[in-house]
Amino acid sequence: MRFLLCTLLLTFRSGQASETSKGWSDWLSEGLALSQTGKYSAAAHAFREALAIAERSAIDERQIVELHDALAGAYAEAGQFAESESEYRRALALVEKGEGQGSLHYAVLLADIATLPTQTGNREEVIALLRRAVAVNAQNGSIRNINVIRVCLAQILRSEKRYQEEEPLLEDVLADLVRPKAADPALLAAALNNLAVLRFDQERYQESVDLQLESIRVWETALGKENPSLVAPLNCLATTYLKMARFDDADLTYRRAINICRKTLGEGHLEYAILLKNYAVVLRKLGRKREAKKIETQGREIQRAVNRRNGVGSTVSVTALRSDPPVTLEP
């Protein structure tokens, strides 16, 4: 199961604009508001406008980085992974020039890129860099940034079936988030869902369900019951119900996820394709074979189109992620 949980953190990571006059800051505020309601394509437009104005203005380079970062996150949520990676590369190049590869900011951006679906292959170099970033900054760095890295690193480790290394990272995140004044719904929901997927992989299905339901509750409380941030955890929950042979529960949960995804992300999104393919399995279990074949075919066609558009299957390395000069990724 593949879930884009790290990119979901964007809306909550970006700060509010500091200016009230018309200009790039107004577009930034508009983009942040649109992102929080799940209107990612419109948010990307707002961030592009903000960036175009900001690059003509005498503003701090760090703010330029944040605009590239915000635009990259909106693209990722909209399923435009190639465009997302390009913006992250621009931000990474600026941070590398100004702060160096050893900075916590560099590691956060690297984690964001490494968890895009376009990135596959040997990730040892990235894993090592992210581990160092956590270790070096554990005492004095931003707790939130460290936990973002931990969540993304856990996701990378899970993709390589390194479950024993993943579990303590998620436990550290959850331990941090129970501290006073540490409320962070995006991080909490992401950590809960990542731990739920780990429990699924460990065949501890009821524990997985309990964690998934808690993750969904956190998202609903923070963003409402129709936000696209719910799509990934609902998909995870439905898949667990399917594994437990709770086919009626899986049916209801997949249909809710599909409806939210269709209305918010659209029928051309990767998440929509994944949902259709997964739901087809449930339909077969329920004896609805003709319907299952139809939506499975639709899901595969959408996924092929998304993969062609985004060049899924590239290999990630720290060297390849440097944006200056541009690098062509290996297929």
pLDDT level of residue 221 (50, 70, 90 thresholds): very high
Lowest-confidence pick of 45-54, 132-141, 223-232: 132-141
Output the pLDDT for position 18.
41
Q: Where does 7-321 sit in CATH, by number?
A: 1.25.40.10
pTM of the predicted model as reported, rounded to 2 decimal places: 0.79
145 contact partners, CB below 8 Å, separation of at least 6: 104, 105, 107, 108, 137
Mean pLDDT of the chain: 84
pLDDT computed for residue 245 by the predictor: 96
Of residues 9, 83, 81, 82, the one with CA closest to residue 51? 83
SS3 category, 53: helix
pLDDT in tens, 268-311: 998 999 999 999 999 999 999 999 999 999 999 999 998 888 76
Distance CA 296, CA 93 (A): 41
- For residue 288 the two structure tokens come to 């609805």
Percent share of the chain, pLDDT over 70: 85
What are 244-254's pLDDT values in tens digits?
Answer: 999 999 999 99
Q: Residue 230 has what DSSP assignment?
A: G
Listed residue (232, 223, 236) closest to 11, CA to CA: 223
